[in-house]
Amino acid sequence: MELRSVEELMDLLYACRGATVAPAGRGRPADVHDHALRTAALLRRRHPADKELQVAGLVQGIGRLLGPGPGAGPGDRAADAVRPLLGARVARLVRAGAGGGADEDAAALRRAAEEALTDEGDAGVLEDWRTLLALVADRASRLRAAD
């Protein structure tokens, strides 16, 4: 599945409510929707200028809803789905964050995602992210057009 609009992505993110992600070795399962909001909020606080990193934190969990693919894990499915809409860097971050990529941004994404499993802070609501998603999608579209 390839996401082509912010509306499609928002619908998928809303659909994450009720799906769960289990922490590795500790804690109770977390709602994917809430986990996405907490991860993105942590990244916004720690990396306020890096909008693509924040968005990667928001969308990294959608692969669980996209169903199995041939040899692809949830991180790969999420990356492939968001690449056409959000661009190559967001897709790379989602894939690297899930797969243990060694670069600094992927490590920041993984740390925030891990912390978000136990963080109880207020992460806001999904609608708060619509404008940023549209901004990142617009930038990705302009970059593709320039190629």
- Residue 78 located in a structural domain: yes
- Residue 115 located in a structural domain: yes
> What CATH number should be reported for the domain holding residue 27?
1.10.3210.10
- Residue 1 located in a structural domain: no
The tens digit of pLDDT for each residue in 83-110 reads 999 999 999 999 988 766 678 999 999 9
The tens digit of pLDDT for each residue in 17-35 reads 888 876 655 567 788 889 9
Which of 104, 132, 105, 138 has the alpha carbon at shortest distance from 37? 132
- Residue 10 located in a structural domain: yes
- Residue 90 located in a structural domain: yes
- Residue 141 located in a structural domain: yes
pLDDT of residue 119: 76
| Polymer length of the chain | 147
The answer to whether residues 75 and 57 touch, using CB atoms and an 8 Å cutoff, is no
How many folded domains does the chain comprise? 1
Question: Given its phi and psi angles, is residue 141 left (phi above 0), alpha (psi -120 to 50 degrees) or beta?
Answer: alpha
Give me the domain span that covers residue 93: 6-146
Residue 70, classed as helix, strand or coil, is: coil
pLDDT of residue 112: 94
Instruction: Work out the mean pLDDT of the chain and round it to a whole number.
Output: 88
Its pTM surpasses 0.95: no
- Residue 48 located in a structural domain: yes
Banded model confidence at residue 140, pLDDT cuts 50, 70, 90: very high
